[in-house]
């Protein structure tokens, strides 16, 4: 597909942020918990690949593109992610999650919550990040991340509050992030 001239680039920016970058964040945190060090290793893992597909389904619901166009974009991303010659390390992607997750994951999370859904894909990214901040997976390099101390529920609440104070009051979300973190451990 060639270049397009469009009046509004926002949908294209959101598609990149949510599908490519959000997918990278999911793989960085959840993939490193499974012992992977690169995007290619993580996307080759059937569990990580399934989690990625789930995240993409959630994010795609909130993008204003035809499903055929989104499917083609996701297929291109899978090909790119699986390319072992592109040595994109999970440790590098995982850096500064406190700055990245608000634009990569939270818009989808908010849209899903506004539609009455508790999005498993977004919850998984956040749960894996909680575990990351507790020293699991790749080393933590994030100067502004909130502490993830206490029980998993306390950690989930604190970490969510650090991203957006309103999220700490969403009890079903806090409980879901804590439960998913227990599963991922």
- Any domain includes 73: yes
Q: Which pLDDT score, from 0 to 100, does residue 140 have?
A: 96
- Mean pLDDT, the chain, rounded, equals 97
Residue 92 lies in a domain: yes
Rg (CA), the chain: 16
> What is the residue range of 174's domain?
10-184
39 domain residue, yes or no: yes
Tell which residue, 97, 104, 9, 94, has the closest CA to residue 56: 104
pLDDT in tens, 39-96: 999 999 999 999 999 999 999 999 999 999 999 999 999 999 999 999 999 999 999 9
Residue 66 is part of a domain; what is its CATH number? 1.10.1040.10
Alpha carbon dihedral 43, 51, 137, 37, in 10-degree steps, equals 0
Q: How many domains does the chain have?
A: 1
Residue 7 predicted with pLDDT over 90 = no
């Amino acid at each position: 597909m060639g270049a397009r001239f469009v009046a509004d680039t926002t949908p294209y920016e959101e598609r990149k942020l949510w599908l490519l970058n959000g997918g990278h964040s999911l793989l960085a945190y959840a993939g490193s918990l499974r012992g992977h060090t690169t995007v290619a290793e993580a996307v080759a893992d059937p569990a990580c690949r399934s989690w990625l597909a789930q995240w993409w389904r959630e994010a795609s619901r909130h993008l204003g593109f035809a499903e055929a166009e989104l499917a083609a974009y996701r297929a291109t991303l899978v090909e790119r992610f699986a390319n072992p010659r592109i040595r994109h390390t999970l440790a590098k992607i995982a850096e500064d999650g406190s700055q990245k997750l608000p634009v990569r994951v939270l818009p989808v999370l908010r849209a899903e919550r506004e539609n009455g859904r508790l999005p498993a894909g977004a919850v998984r990214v956040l749960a894996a990040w909680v575990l990351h901040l507790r020293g699991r997976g790749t080393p933590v390099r994030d100067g502004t991340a909130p502490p993830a101390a206490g029980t998993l529920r306390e950690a989930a609440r604190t970490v969510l509050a650090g991203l957006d104070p309103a999220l700490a009051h969403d009890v079903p979300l806090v409980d879901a992030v804590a439960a998913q973190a227990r599963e991922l451990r």
